[in-house]
Structure 1
Amino acid sequence: MTPHDTAPCDTETPSYSVAVLPALSRVDAADWDACAGPENPFVSHAFLSALEDSGSVGPGTGWRPQHLLIRDGQGRPLAVAPLYLKSHSYGEYVFDWSWANAWHQAGGQYYPKLQGAVPFTPVTGPRLLVRPDAPDPESLRRALLVAMVELADQIGLSSVHITFPTEGETDLGQDMGFLRRQGQQYHWENPGYRDFQDFLDTLASRKRKAIRKERDKANTQGVTLRVLTGGDLRMRHWDAFFRFYRTTADRKWGQPYLTRGFFHLLGERLADRVVLVLGTEDATGRDVCGALNLWGGDALYGRNWGCVDDFRFLHFEACYYRAMDVAIDRGLRWVEAGAQGEHKVQRGYLPRATHSLHWITDPGFREAVARFVEHERMMVDQDMATLAAFGPYRRGERPGPES
C-alpha cells in the first residue's frame, strides 16, 4: 500500500525539498516555532530541544531524532514534524507491546520503528507542523506523512506511529491509509466557572460533600501548597521536584526517563508556561511534593507528580483540585489529567477520546492490527460511556464522553 499525493523524502521537487534532521539544533528555533505556533508548549523548540540538550532524548535513550523539515525553493522552512527512530516502546503511552511480540513470534523485527511524538508526553497536540502563511497547508501535512512512510521504507522499518495527534491530523492520516487507533484520557472542562464553589454546585450532593472533605483533609495535615510560575521558580525548586519525580519513578517503573538537566532547562526556557504546585512541610520547612503542569492555549496540562512521603489526599489536591483552581483563575477551558485512574471521574474529570496513527509495512500484519484497533475502539467507546454515566455531576449538568 502506498499513500497517494506522494512527495519524496530527502529529495527536491520544483516547489519544496524534504530533509531529515538528526538533532533539533540543525534548525533555527524561530523557524521551527513559526511552524509549531504558540499554542502547544510541547511542540515548541524550547521543550523539544530541552529533551535533547539534557540527554533525556538522544544517544543511549532509544529515542534517536529524525525530525522532518520541508523547505520551499528559496530555502524557507514551511513545515516540520518531531520524529524519532525508536528501539523500544517506552515513554509513548500508546501501548504496542503485543504488536511487537506478535511480530517477533512471526520471525520479524519490530524495532527499530519510527515514532512521530513528543517524548514522554501523552498530550494531544499538532504533530504535522505547518507555517500558517504557507501555501496549501493540507498538501504540506500530506507531504510530511508521505515522508515518514518513505523514510521507513528506505531504512527497512516495520512501522510508523504518530501518537496523540489532533483529530484533524488523525482524519487526514486515516484518509491516506494509516490505521486509526482510539484511546481515552480524563479531562476536566471549565465552561466559565466563577470559582471552585461554582463547580461544586453542579455536582450531586454526595459527591460535593466528598470533594469538600478531601480538600479539607489534604490542607490540614501540616503541608502548605504554593503555586509557582515564571520568575517565582528557582533552581532549588527544580532540584526538589526532580527528587520527587525520581522517588515516584523508582516506585512505579524503576528508571526515570527525564534527567535533572531537563527540569533545569525547562525552567530556563519555558518558565512562563510552567505551573508548579509545590508542597512544603510546615514543621520542618522541607519540600515534600510537587505537581508539574504546563499551560498553553485554553488548557492546563498535568504532567508529573512526585512525593517523598505518604500524605492522605495530597495527590488529589495538588494534581486535580489546584489545577482546577488555576484553570478557573486563568479562564482556561480544560485541565488534562492524562490517562489511567478511574478515580478521576468522581472528581469531575470525564473520559475524552485520544487518537494515534499507525502505518504497518507488512500487509498480513497490517490486516491483523486493523482488526485489533477496530475491536479496541468499540471497547473504548463502551468504557467511556459507562464511566461518564457514573460521573459526579447532577443529571443534565455535564455532557457525556467527547470524541
Structure 2
Amino acid sequence: MDSSEITLEAVSSISQIPAEEWDACANPPVATEGSREGSKSSYNPFVSHAFFSALEASGSAVPRTGWGPRHLLARCDGAIAGIVPCYLKSHSQGEYVFDRGWADAYERAGGSYYPKLQASVPFTPATGPRLLIRHDVDQDEIRNALARGLVGLCQATEASSVHVTFAREAEWKLLASHGFLQRTDQQFHWHNQDYRSFDDFLATLNSRHRKAIKRERREAVANGITIHALNGSDITEEAWDAFFAFYMETGSRKWGRPYLTRSFFSLIGETMANDVLLVMARRNNRWIAGAINFIGSEALFGRNWGAIEHHPFLHFEVCYYQAIDDAITRGLKTVEAGAQGEHKIARGYLPQTTYSAHFIADPGLRHAIKDYLKRERAYVAEMGRELTAAGPFRKDNGALGDD
C-alpha cells in the first residue's frame, strides 16, 4: 500500500463513525478455536463501539465533563482502515495514569499543560488495543500512520501532549519509535492455570493463604447474605438502580464526584448485556452491594464496586473470588482486577506490568520527564519482582506472574 493513499482526520463524536466500521477495527473478525460463543478472537469489550457510544451518549465522556472526543481516523481510498479513540482534555481525572505532577511543574514554569490529548478508554484502567486497525489492510502502514497522526493532532489542537494509556506492549514500543516516552506501572491480575474449580486454584496456594481465603468466603456470607451473578437478560433496571446507588455511595467517598451517569448503565444494559457480569449481594430481600465486570474472550475485567452495607470480607467475595469462579467456569485466561491494591496479592492476584506512551511537545518538559521515567521504570520492575516473590502460591507450584 502506498502511504500517499492514507488520509487522516479527527471527528468530534463516535456517532459520526458507523458501528460496523469502528468494530471492524476494534475487534477484527478473526475466529479462533476456544472463543466463547458469539465472540471474536481477542474480543475486548472496552474498545467496542457500544462501550464508547454509551460513554458519550450518556454524558459521561463529553466536553462538559472535560472529555472532548477527537477520535483519529486513518482512511484508505475513503474507507476507515484504522482508529485511535482519543479525547481532548482539560484535566487529568479519570485516567489512572497520573501526570498531575507534570502539569503542576509545567504550569509553574509558565506553560499551559491543558488541553492535552488522551488516547484511552475513559475511566477504564484496562489494557487493550489503542491503535485499532482492520485485519485486511497493511497493519504496519496504518499503525505508523496513526502514530504520526497523533503527533499531528497534538499540533493541530495546540495540545501540550498526547498520552496513550494502558496500551499493549507492542504499541508501546512502536510509539517509542515515533518520539513517545515510555512509562510503566503495575496492576494485579489473576492467571488461570487450567483450573477446573475454585478448589483447584486453592490447592496451588500455601496452607496459610488457602485457609484464610476459605475463612473469608465463609464469613462474607455469614449474616444471611446471598450472592447472585447476573448476566444478559438477568440484569434488570431494578438491579441497575441498586448498583448505581452503590457506585455513587462509594465513588462519592473516594473521588468526590463519580464519573459515570445512571444512563450509562442502562445503555450498556441495552447494547452489551451479554458482555456484563454483575455480581450482587442480597440481604433481607434487598441488594446491599455489587461489582460490575466485563467479559472478553480471554479476560474478565473487574471494574466498579460499591455497597450500602459493610460486612467483613464481602468486598473480597464479590470482587475477587466470584470473578475467579466465573473465569474458571468460562475458561478465561485472566482476571484483571483494576487499578492499584497490593491486598490483592494474598488473594492470588500477581503483579502485571502496564504500559503507557507519552508525546511531550515542549523539549524542556520532555527532557525532564524522560529522566524521571527512566528511574520510575526501574522502580516498577523491582517492585514487581519483590511482590511476585511474596505471593501466596506454594513454591513448588510454578504459577505464572508477570510475563
TM bucket by the smaller chain? over 0.9
Residue identity matched to 2:245: R
Look up the match of 2:66. Answer: 62
Alpha-carbon shift at residue 401 of structure 1 (Å): 4.2
Matched, 1:273 2:275: yes
1:152 aligned partner, one-letter code: C
Match of 2:112 among 94, 109, 112: 109
Could you tell me which amino acid in structure 1 is paired with residue 57 of structure 2?
D
Distance 1:341 1:54 in 2: 29
Q: Matches of 1:358 and 1:346 in 2, distance apart?
A: 33
Query: 1:47-86 maps to which residues of 2 (within 5 A)?
Result: 47-73=51-77, 75-86=78-89
Conserved in 2, the CA contact under 8 Å of 1:186 and 1:336?
yes
Q: Does 1:256 align with 2:258?
A: yes
Question: Any conservation in 2 of the 1:190–1:333 contact (CA below 8 Å)?
Answer: yes
Q: 1:319 aligned to 2:319?
A: yes
The reply to whether residue 394 of structure 1 matches residue 394 of structure 2 is yes
CA contact (8 A) 1:385 1:401 kept: no
User: After the TM superposition, which residues 364-403 of structure 1 pair with which residues of structure 2 at under 5 Å, given as runs?
Assistant: 364-399=364-399, 401-403=401-403
Residues 289, 306 of structure 2: 8 Å contact kept: yes
Match of 2:34 in 1: none
Letter in 2 for 1:313: F
Q: What SS is found at the alignment partner of 2:367?
A: helix
Label 1:400 to 1:331 Cα distance change in 2 as closer, same or farther (>3 A). Answer: closer
Which secondary structure does the structure 2 equivalent of 1:199 belong to?
Answer: helix
What secondary structure, in the 3-state scheme, does the structure 1 residue paired with 2:326 have? helix
Per-residue CA shift, 1:29-48, capped at 9, x if unaligned?
00000000141100100000
Task: Indicate the residue corresponding to 1:10 in structure 2.
Answer: none
SS in 2 for 1:393: coil
Question: How many angstroms apart in 2 are the aligned matches of 1:81 and 1:389?
Answer: 37
Distance 1:51 1:156 in 2: 25
- For 1:183, the aligned partner's letter is D
Q: Give the corresponding residue for 2:189.
A: 187
What amino acid sits opposite 2:19 in the alignment? A
2:12 maps to a residue whose letter is P
Aligned to 1:237: 239
Q: Counterpart of 1:178?
A: 180
Task: Give the residue type in structure 1 aligned to 2:326.
Answer: V
Rounded to whole Å, the distance in 2 between the matches of 1:399 and 1:231 is 36
Using structure 1 for the length normalisation, give the TM-score.
0.94
The aligned amino acid for 1:195 is: S
Equivalent in the alignment of 1:34: 24
Q: Among residues 228, 231, 249, which one is paired with 2:230 in the alignment?
A: 228
Q: Please tell me whether residue 19 in structure 1 is matched to residue 6 in structure 2.
A: no
Shift of 1:16: 2.2
Which secondary structure does the structure 2 equivalent of 1:77 belong to? strand
1:340 corresponds to which residue?
A: 340
Deviations 1:195-231 (A, max 9, x none): 0110111111111100100001012221111000011
CA contact (8 A) 1:229 1:272 kept: yes
Name structure 1 gaps, 5 residues minimum: 1-6, 8-12
Structure-2-length-normalised TM-score: 0.94
Report the Cα distance in structure 1 between the residues aligned to 2:396 and 2:261, rounded to whole angstroms. 45
Matched-pair contact (CA < 8 Å) for 1:388–1:400? no
Q: Superposition RMSD on alpha carbons, in Å? A: 1.2
Q: Once the 2 structures are TM-superposed, how far is the Cα of residue 399 of structure 1 from its aligned partner? A: 4.7
Q: Is the 1:160–1:360 Cα contact (8 Å) retained in structure 2?
A: yes
Q: Any runs of at least 4 consecutive aligned residues in structure 1 with deviations exceeding 2 A, and if so which?
A: 398-401
Cα shift at 1:154 = 2.0
Distance across 2 between alignment mates of 1:221 and 1:140: 56
Secondary structure at the aligned position of 1:184 is classed as strand
Asked if structure 2 preserves the Cα contact closer than 8 Å seen for 1:384 and 1:401, the reply is no
Contact 2:291 2:303 in 1 (8 A): yes
Task: Note closer, same or farther for the CA distance 1:348–1:269 as it changes in structure 2 (3 Å cut).
Answer: same
Whether 1:216 and 2:256 are equivalent positions in the alignment is no
| Distance of 1:309 and 1:220 partners within structure 2 | 14
- Asked if the contact 1:78–1:130 (Cα under 8 Å) also holds between the matched residues in 2, the reply is yes
Q: Within the alignment, does 1:157 sit opposite 2:159 as a pair? A: yes
SS at match of 1:188: strand
Aligned-partner residue type, residue 134 of structure 2 = R
SS at match of 1:60: helix
Partner of residue 103 from structure 2, selected from 100, 103, 124: 100
Number of residue pairs aligned between Structure 1 and Structure 2: 388
Between the aligned residues of both structures, percent identity stands at 52
Give the corresponding residue for 1:328. 328
Q: Conserved in 2, the CA contact under 8 Å of 1:184 and 1:354? A: yes
Question: Is residue 301 of structure 1 aligned with residue 291 of structure 2?
Answer: no
Deviations 1:331-380 (A, max 9, x none): 00100012211110011000000000000111111111001111001111
Alignment match, 1:127? 130
Indicate the residue corresponding to 1:143 in structure 2: 145
Secondary structure of the structure 1 residue equivalent to 2:289: strand
Q: What are the residue-to-residue correspondences of 1:354-365 with 2, within 5 Å? A: 354-365=354-365
Structure 2 gap segments, 5+ residues each:
28-39
The structural deviation recorded for 1:155 is 2.4
Secondary structure class of the residue paired with 1:164: strand
For residues 158 and 291 of structure 2, the distance between their equivalents in structure 1, rounded to whole angstroms, comes to 41
CA shift digits 1:246-301 (9 cap, x unpaired) = 000111111010000000001001000000001111x2x11111110001121000
Asked whether the 8 Å contact 1:249–1:255 carries over to 2, the reply is: yes
SS in 2 for 1:293: strand
CA deviations over 1:37-60 (Å, ceiling 9, x no partner): 141100100000000000001131
- 1:385, 1:400 within 8 Å by CA — same for their partners in 2? no
